[in-house]
Structure 1
Amino acid sequence: MGIYAAKELISQARNLAANYRRTVGRPLPGISNEIAEYDAICLLGLQAVEDKSLGYDALDPRNGERIQIKSRALFDEAKGGARIGQLKMNQDWDAVVLVLMDENYQPMEIYQARRDELEEYINQTSPNRAKRGALSVARFKIIGELRWTRENGLAGEQWENRA
């Protein structure tokens, strides 16, 4: 792995990203996904995939599911309308994990949604949104299941966040 352990590098990346945002006023591009991928793999017990061209970032060793990992740093939770990155709808994957982080790029919650549920919602919305695989954080939380929280760790009994 080299001189540094991944855990230490991720810790430094969190600090750099938070300080950058506080200084410059905008997020450091691309860093939240790297941090979220590390967190999801460690906290959920996933296996990293080296070849990102496959359309997924990790495998779940319990069931072999192919997982896309998405992230969103929430700097002002009072502001609504936060969106997640584009889903790779044209590639093979089974589920998406969304890592929600605070202003210090520390994980707060991790949600997981299955492909069929995401496709069902996206196909019911506008054709342009479906084509882009666009989705809000709020909608993802409704569709998905809470898998991990900062306060409680792994969800023993996964509950569904549906009305």
Structure 2
Amino acid sequence: MLVSEEIEALLTTAIDLAAKYKKLTGKPLGITGEVAEFYAAKLLNLKLMGARSPGYDAIDSDYRKIQIKGRCLPDKFKVGHRVGSIRLEHQWDSVILVLMNEFFVVSEMWEADRPMVEAALLAPGSKSRNVRGALSVSKFKQISKRVWPV
């Protein structure tokens, strides 16, 4: 999939609609993942895969398979926010977490390699971590490196 100005214009329209929807209903519209993938590809020069590619969303210039997760966080970040489910049964080399504000403006991106993610997910303890593959945003940042802005 190409990262183009036309797609970015469509996403901008979708972001505006999502903001209005949330204001009216109090619920998110569910476009965070698509926005995160687009901006990770654009800002980190990644090639996006087709829809529903199992295990990864993009490849980098070294053909590493990258899973992209997005999270919108309010200005007053509280403990407990989680990264979406990371499945170990699929093939992928790293996970990029795109953090955005409530208006989908990208603030930073973090990347963790598979061995670090696996170790964190398989560590004894939390059911959400061990069963659902969900790390907290703060834990993900601990095991990763910031890749944008650098």
Q: TM-score, normalised by structure 1?
A: 0.83
Report the Cα distance in structure 2 between the residues aligned to 1:77 and 1:59, rounded to whole angstroms.
33
Structure 2 match to 1:82: 81
Task: Give, in whole Å, the separation in 2 of the partners of 1:127 and 1:53.
Answer: 28
Match of 1:152 in 2: none
Superposed, 1:4-153 pairs within 5 Å as 5-29=6-30, 31-50=31-50, 52-61=52-61, 63-126=62-125, 128=127, 129-149=129-149
1:68–1:95 Cα contact (<8 Å) kept: yes
Q: Distance in 1 between matches of 2:89 and 2:58?
A: 17
Percent pairwise identity: 39
Deviation at 1:57, TM superposition (A): 0.2
Corresponding residue pairs, total: 146
- Residue 43 of structure 1: SS of its match in structure 2? helix
Give, in whole Å, the separation in 2 of the partners of 1:131 and 1:103: 28
Alpha-carbon distance in structure 1 between the residues aligned to 2:53 and 2:9: 27
Moved over 4 A (4+): none
Over aligned residue pairs, what C-alpha RMSD do you find? 1.8
- Structure 1 regions of 5+ residues with no counterpart? 150-154, 156-163
TM-score relative to the length of structure 2? 0.90
User: One-letter code of the match for 1:74?
Assistant: L
Q: Secondary structure at the match of 2:131?
A: helix
1:127: Cα distance to partner? Answer: 7.0
CA distance in 2, matches of 1:58, 1:106: 20
Distance 1:127 1:137, change over 3 A: closer
Residue deviations 1:9-33 (CA, integer Å, cap 9, x gap): 011111111222122112112x000
- CA-to-partner distance for each residue in 1:77-117, whole Å, 9 max, x for gaps? 34221001100211000000100010111111111111100
Question: Where does structure 2 lack aligned partners over 5 or more consecutive residues?
Answer: none
Query: Structure 1 pair 88/11, CA: closer, same or farther in 2 (3 Å)?
Result: same
